[in-house]
Amino acid sequence: MREIESPGTKRIATNRRAYHDYHVDEKIECGIALAGTEVKALREGRISFGDAYARIHDGELWLVSLRISPYSRASLFNHDPDRERKLLVHRQELYRLKRRVDEKGYTLIPLRLYFKRSHVKVEIGLCKGKQLHDKRQDIRARDQRREADREAREQMR
């Protein structure tokens, strides 16, 4: 899935595995509370999604298992790479997400990180897991699209 970036945004990283393993029903933009060395490490692209997910705990949204590697030029004051990070959303949005996650079995998965002007933003997806046959159907559809595009290019020559 190709994302169109608006002016003033710069992509840091995209969680391609999320689109492979989950059906993304809705996308939400969140702010993220970071330390100074974490922002500098993100500018270097030192991030790994792994099995990252978001959870709601004590009325707050937290990003878990997102690894931001230590900043290379920091020494004593570097950050913990595996700490949980607080996501910033409006309270009404948080209540709505909590209802969807509790009732319908959705999961909150980080889809991409990007700079919006000078702020780091996280795009969270409200996702449901895919079964193996769903993944095969997606691969088949992608291959058919690719083949159709290839044939269209051949006819234009």
**Number of domain units in the chain:** 1
CB under 8 Å to 53, separation ≥6 — which residues? 63, 64, 65, 107, 108, 109, 110
Q: What is the predicted pLDDT for the residue at 57?
A: 94
Q: What is the average pLDDT value for the chain, to the nearest integer?
A: 90
Q: By percentage, how much of the chain surpasses pLDDT 90?
A: 63
Per-residue pLDDT tens digits for 66-100:
999 998 887 777 888 889 999 999 999 999 999 99
pLDDT of residue 4 exceeding 80, the answer is no
In a domain, 1, yes or no: no
Identify the CA nearest to 111 among candidates 42, 33, 52.
52
In a domain, 45, yes or no: yes
In a domain, 42, yes or no: yes
Q: What is the CATH number of the domain that holds 72?
A: 2.40.280.10
Q: Which range (9-13, 48-52, 58-62, 128-132) has the least confidence?
A: 128-132
Residues in a beta bridge with 26? 126
